[in-house]
Chains A and B, each alone.
Chain A
Amino acid sequence: MPTGRHKSRRLRRVFKKSPGGKTNLCYIKRKPGKAKCATCNAVLKGIPREIPSKINKISSSGKKPKRPYGGNLCSKCMRLKMISKTRIGA
């Protein structure tokens, strides 16, 4: 029977084949959801979906676009914000 902490549904159940030919059961953590725009709720591009132990190994240039409000707003919303800055003033 599985141990108590393995009965949780926060863990995925995956069957993996070992080099010897046997199949074993593995409990794997689930990935987080996709990043969304703060104003229009659209899915953002260029942001990987990984658990924290793997995201810490990626460099900062591989985690978000190199643009002002890169991981926060989509490109359309960012353009509207820049236009409002020039017309209204700061």
Chain B
Amino acid sequence: MIEVGRLCMKIAGRDAGEKCVVVDIIDNCNVLIDGQTRRRKCNIKHLEPIEKVLKIKKGISHADIVKEFKKLGLEARETEPKKAGPKPKKQIKKKVVEETAEKTEKKVESKSKEAETKKEVKKTEKPTAKKEILKKPAAKSAKK
């Protein structure tokens, strides 16, 4: 029953109900199929044969199967994937990035200036405090 060229219908899987042709026999269990389904191996238990045998050679290419199916009035599956179109360019995002970059630069500059002023204030305060402490015990000792 299952021979090269036999028309079958797939029973199981997501492509159930689609017609295919046996292209090559691999095993006691497995078979190569092509047609309205993808070109792949299939289990014989998942196929139901139809009363038609096509005259094709073993290991036929996909392009020849498309011609054979047109004579029967069926459409074979397209194997080439669709080509992706050009991606659209987004210009709005660039402006936002520039604005944020300017803001961060300003913040960094202001922070560095504040740090410098703080350091100067600390340096001026410290020596005055030390001088006062040194003066006080000298005054006390003088009184005594």
Chain A contact residues, CB within 8 Å of chain B: 66-68, 75, 78-79, 82-83, 85-87
- B11 x A82 contact (CB < 8 A): yes
Q: Which residues of A contact B126 (CB under 8 A)?
A: none
- Decide: A82 and B50 in contact? CB cutoff 8 A: no
Q: B14, A67: Cβ atoms under 8 Å?
A: yes
A82/B14 in contact, CB under 8 A? no
Residues of A within 8 A of B11 (CB): 79, 82-83
Cβ of A66 and Cβ of B14 under 8 Å apart? yes
- How many pairs of A and B residues are in contact by the CB < 8 Å rule? 25
**Is A67 a contact of B16 with CB atoms below 8 Å?**
yes
Instruction: List A contacts of B14 (CB < 8 A).
Output: 66-67
- For this complex, 17 residue pairs linking A to B, each with C-beta atoms less than 8 Å apart, are A66-B14, A67-B13, A68-B16, A68-B17, A79-B11, A79-B12, A79-B16, A82-B9, A82-B10, A82-B17, A82-B48, A83-B11, A83-B48, A85-B9, A85-B17, A86-B9, A87-B48
Candidate in A79, A83, A85, A86 with the most chain B CB atoms within 10 angstroms: A86
B48 to A, closest residue via Cβ: A86
